[in-house]
Homo-oligomer: A and B are copies of this chain.
Amino acid sequence: MFQIPRGTRDFTPEEMQKRRYVEEKIRSTFQQFGYKEIQTPTFETLELFTAKSGEAIIDELYAFKDKGGRDLALRPELTAPVIRFYVDKLQMESKPLKLFYFGNCFRYDRPQKGRYREFMQAGCELIGTDTPEGIAELIGLAYTILKSVGLKDLKLFIGNLNILSSIFKTFNISKEQQKKLTPLIDKSMFNDVVLCLKDFGISEKDAQKFKEVLQASDLKIILELTEKDEQAKNEMMKLKQIFELLKNVFEIKTCEIKMSIVRGLDYYKGVVFEIDAPTLGAEKQLCGGGAYELIPLFGGRETPTSGFAIGFDRTILALDVEEYNYPSLKLDFYVIPVNEEMISKSLEITQNLRKNGLSVDMDLLKRGMSKSLKYASSINVDKIIIVGQKELVDESVTIRDMKTGAQELVKIKDLYQNLR
């Protein structure tokens, strides 16, 4: 027997039904917001990802050479491929360009709950605007998508990397020192941040103040600190506008400031945000995004960009935890021929019903009435059509209701007629 590769999954019909349902909800919400779908290849040149994220990412990639000796990698995320596509072929499109995608991604990670080696991301890029209303709509879209799939318990956090930089400056923390701090900040290890700051020669009082700012959920504390920095003040004004739009227009009540969002990535700048499903525990982040700069690095003309990615698999996990009630996919009819001579007629009835848009299956095993009825109840169908010799003389079939067991004789032409 062959094994499935470690960290990957097969999806049963029941799971696929959930996944397609959620996918369709996400797609239609993107479209309602004026976004258009694109797709890129499953693998890219390795250097696309190292250019964006540094050589260290190679350890987390499925990288391989093709037979021409070219270094390729299964994509670990979709922003780099989408921006490559944009620079290559879409730069001349009207702005803002609103692009969304679904795609499988791959990471050579230790498998654990909510983390797989192959996983799906849904996401988007907004290219050509960084107005507060543009960013607010982007964040509002991410939140609306997760609400539209049926999630109830969500938490939105917003940070700003320009403001964080300004705070670093206020405390005279050098670029080198920032590099040591950001991983600790990213993991919310605030006590270690304080220890680290004291190592840098920063006073206990300032270190505590810094920690307080990182944990602040109130814009006021941050406003005080950034008063003297013009750029930071501008960003704060913009952040306030975004907050107001999210509260008033998108009716998001649980929106908090979180200065400790660093997104672990070098190319983000300005507004960053995350949406969590608190029900999921340790691996609770469903969505992350913000404003970033990648187009010039990829050889394109500088233009404001932002975007987000939603972890599709975690979204499904969160729905499961919330015991979301998915609509079920039912067959309309199951057709049983009473004997071999009835097969052709049964297949004809089956096919005519399908032509009218119904989902219909038929016994393909010549297995007799009682076994067929047993099978029918195992596949979750409401109504059975029994095709028998005696009834056919009268151009009729028997319809059996699987819930009540009630049977009635129906003319075949009435059966078709009722569908119109």
Contacts and interface: CB of A to CB of B under 8 A. Distances in A.
A331 B34 contact: yes
Interface string A110-143: 0000000010000000101101011011001000
Contacts of A168: none
Interface string A211-255: 000000000000000000000000000000000110011100000
A157 interface: no
Given A32-B360, A131-B364, A48 B2 contact: yes
B34 A360 contact: yes
A328 B331 CA distance: 30
A328 to B, nearest CB: 12
A412 interface: no
Contact of A354 (B32, B40, B87, B348): B32
Given A16-B39, A331-B34, A45 B3 contact: yes
A134 to B, nearest CB: 4
B1 A88 contact: yes
Given A66-B108, A95-B365, A347 B378 contact: no
A186 interface: no
B41 A8 contact: yes
Contacts of A96: 364-365
A357 B199 CA distance: 56
Contact of A4 (B41, B329, B351, B366): B41
Interface residues on A, range: 35 or more
A156 interface: no
A41 B8 CA distance: 6
Contact of A10 (B3, B85, B118, B245): B85
Interface in A82-98: 84-85, 87-90, 94-96, 98
Contact of A133 (B87, B248, B250, B343): B343
B343 A2 contact: no
Interface of A: 1-6, 8-13, 16-17, 19-20, 27, 31-34, 36-45, 47-48, 51, 62-64, 66-68, 70, 72, 74, 84-85, 87-90, 94-96, 98-99, 104, 106, 108, 118, 126, 128-129, 131, 133-134, 136-137, 140, 144, 244-245, 248-250, 298-300, 329, 331, 343-344, 347-348, 351, 354, 357-362, 364-366, 375, 378-379
9 contacts: A2-B88, A4-B44, A6-B68, A11-B40, A16-B36, A41-B118, A64-B64, A137-B364, A249-B348
Given A41-B118, A42-B106, A248-B344, 10 more contacts: A1-B300, A2-B47, A4-B44, A5-B45, A10-B85, A32-B357, A94-B379, A96-B364, A131-B365, A134-B364
